[in-house]
Amino acid sequence: MQTTAMMDAANGRAKGPFRFLVPLLLAGCALASAGMASAEAAKPPSTPSAGKALVCLYRPSKFIGSASHDSLYVNGTLLATLLNGEYACTEVAAGTVVVSGLQKAYYAGAIMSSVAALDDMKKKENERARIEVEAGKSYYLKWSSEAMGANIKLILQDSSVGAKEMSKLHPSKPPEQPEEKK
């Protein structure tokens, strides 16, 4: 008995014990190349356009603070609502950049930290970071919080550290813009 795969000359299909292996290998190769293409498409930006600075906000996946999220504004413009494992970037003019946030918290039931409850009552943006940026440079701000969404901060990271940490995350969904009044 022969145990090697042979080709059936009439229809070009593999025969023998390996006849199911060929389609699986081909499907695996197709999935791998599609995964590489999507990973390449989702690659975060690393350099700004001429005359601009790049500001990236990112949030590593962590259990602590995972029930809350921030709608983040850069110089008053809504950039993103960051969830665990997400990032968002925008280009800005050189000068002072103010990042503010409007915290929202989702908990199972009515349990909410006093900080989150106060933020919900205020319904106003709280300044998370203020930095001076230069044209041609990239800036990475890492989102962090304490338990129950208390003490949310954006911490400026070294460019190489921020780019490396952010490369493991996925982009946030574009923010929902309010409809124009007619």
Structural domain range at position 113: 53-171
Domains: count for the chain: 2
Q: Is residue 89 part of a domain?
A: yes
Top pLDDT among 91 and 2 is at 91
Rounded to an integer, what distance in angstroms lies between the CA atom of residue 101 and that of residue 127?
Answer: 6
- 141-179, pLDDT tens digit by residue? 999 887 666 678 899 999 999 999 999 999 998 877 555
Q: Are residues 36 and 61 in the same domain?
A: no
Q: Are residues 86 and 134 in the same domain?
A: yes
Q: Are residues 28 and 77 in the same domain?
A: no
Q: Are residues 37 and 70 in the same domain?
A: no
DSSP structure string for 55-72: EEEEE---STTTTEEEEE
Q: Is residue 1 part of a domain?
A: no
Q: Is residue 26 part of a domain?
A: yes
Top pLDDT among 152 and 64 is at 152
Rounded to an integer, what distance in angstroms lies between the CA atom of residue 144 and that of residue 162?
Answer: 13
Q: Are residues 146 and 95 in the same domain?
A: yes
Q: Are residues 37 and 119 in the same domain?
A: no
User: Which pLDDT score is estimated for 36?
Assistant: 39
**Residue 60 in contact with residue 85, Cβ under 8 Å?**
yes
Top pLDDT among 165 and 20 is at 165
User: Which pLDDT score is estimated for 137?
Assistant: 96
pTM attached to this predicted model:
0.65
- 72-124, pLDDT tens digit by residue? 999 999 999 988 899 999 999 999 999 998 877 555 444 444 455 544 444 45
Q: Are residues 73 and 98 in the same domain?
A: yes
What's 93's domain CATH number? 2.60.40
Q: Is residue 48 part of a domain?
A: no
Q: Is residue 31 part of a domain?
A: yes
Q: Is residue 181 part of a domain?
A: no
User: How does residue 45 score in pLDDT terms, banded at 50, 70 and 90?
Assistant: confident
Q: Are residues 106 and 32 in the same domain?
A: no
Which burial class, exposed, middle or buried, applies to 135 when counting CB atoms under 10 A from its CB (0-12, 13-18, 19+)? middle
